[in-house]
Amino acid sequence: MNKFDAKASEALLDKNLITENQFQEIKEYRSLNIFSLNVELKLLLSISVLMFTSGIGILIYDNIDSIGHIALLSILFAITCGCFYYCFKNSKGFQKTEAATESHFLEYVVLTANVLTCIFIGYLQFQYEAFGTHYGLATLIPTIVSFVCAYYFDNKSVLTIAVTGLAAYIGLSVTPQEIFNDNNNFYANESLSYSAVMFGILLILWTIYSFRINLKTHFAFIYLTFALHIISIASISNLYRYDIIWFLFAVVLAVSSYYFYKISHQLKAISLYVFMIIYAYIGINIFLFRIFENIDFSDIWELFILLLPAYFIGSIILFIKLIKNFNKETA
């Protein structure tokens, strides 16, 4: 038992939260040096799914002329159906609340089946234009399948695919290189920015409704994570505008930050809290820059340069203090 664990156990004993016998049992158990391989096994399963689906894609690309489209689609369809058959056969079915994990292997078979479904429908549309010029259907159908599977099999990974597909369907596609680029989609397309904010609000509203009817409330973290990033990125990207719209998005970012401040405490989700702080900090700095951009600092620029390091150091100290307070409040 390492020093940290030993001190933690002794603290519990000193506070009479555990008995002497329990303390000795804990000490003996930890002296066995048993450790869990759960994370490692999940990582290997994730890599297996990634390699398998990537291999399917490479197989299609390398053998498209020799095998033929019909044969490849048939093989892909058969594998997908086989995965779904295994999933439905070994699953206990839909449960309104969080279901106990039956098998980690089953979770990754469900994930594989959904990824293969996306590949199959995408390949079908690309090669044969099965949906005609309605290209959005090629995104919407796998998204619907993913939502159904996520709720039926209680799979968070598949839910992530579903929400991503829904965002893509309405035209949201953001890469790290484009987030703060002047030519990013949000900046270039004002209506897309409104769509992003509305999409984030709908995710929040669905989360609130799910809590009211007690439907898969453990999915809330995923929905709120998407909502936080989408609303914040759309708002920050539009703070660079030179019309009155930038102030509207500043208000949206402020309201969003307040909401996620409250909900992060409610759910005890430190990742939501940290990203909320980061986005709010970026937004505040841009807002201050926009407010003071027309002020002439030529006479006090030296004082400004001297205060700048102190400002950033103070920001770091404040950030650390906020995280510490969050941990205390949610402990």
Q: Which of 48-62, 134-148, 268-282, 303-317 has the highest mean pLDDT?
A: 268-282
Lowest mean pLDDT among 77-81, 122-126, 206-210: 122-126
pLDDT(299) > 80: no
Write out the two tokens for 92: 């206990």
pLDDT band of residue 180 (cuts 50, 70, 90) is very low
Q: What angle do CA 163, 168, 169 make, to 5 degrees?
A: 95
Query: HEC states along 253-264?
Result: HHHHHHHHHHHH
Q: Which residue has the higher pLDDT, 26 or 266?
A: 266
- Using an 8 Å Cβ cutoff, are 164 and 116 in contact? no
Angstrom distance (rounded) from CA 148 to CA 154: 10
Sequence-ordered list of residues with C-beta below 8 angstroms from that of 302, at least 6 positions apart, any chain = none
CA dihedral 253, 254, 257, 263 (to 10 degrees): -120
pLDDT(188) > 80: no
* Rounded percentage of the chain residues whose pLDDT exceeds 70: 85
Question: What one-character DSSP code corresponds to residue 219?
Answer: G
Can you give the pLDDT at residue 37? 64
Can you give the pLDDT at residue 186? 54
Can you give the pLDDT at residue 117? 92
Sequence-ordered list of residues with C-beta below 8 angstroms from that of 279, at least 6 positions apart, any chain = 228, 232, 233, 236, 253, 256, 257
Nearest Cα neighbor of 151 from 224, 202, 99 is: 99
Angstrom distance (rounded) from CA 303 to CA 299: 9
- Using an 8 Å Cβ cutoff, are 246 and 290 in contact? yes
- Using an 8 Å Cβ cutoff, are 160 and 187 in contact? no
pLDDT(190) > 80: no
Instruction: Provide mean pLDDT across the span 313-318.
Output: 92
Can you give the pLDDT at residue 176? 46
Q: Which residue has the higher pLDDT, 233 or 65?
A: 233
Q: Which residue has the higher pLDDT, 147 or 297?
A: 147
Can you give the pLDDT at residue 24? 79
* Rounded percentage of the chain residues whose pLDDT exceeds 90: 40
Instruction: Provide mean pLDDT across the span 36-49.
Output: 71
pLDDT(1) > 50: no
Q: Give the model confidence (pLDDT) of 213-272 as tens digits.
A: 999 999 999 999 999 999 999 999 888 877 778 889 999 999 999 999 999 999 999 999
- Using an 8 Å Cβ cutoff, are 282 and 236 in contact? yes
Nearest Cα neighbor of 46 from 93, 123, 115 is: 115
Lowest mean pLDDT among 51-65, 70-84, 301-315: 51-65
**Average model confidence (pLDDT) across the chain:** 83
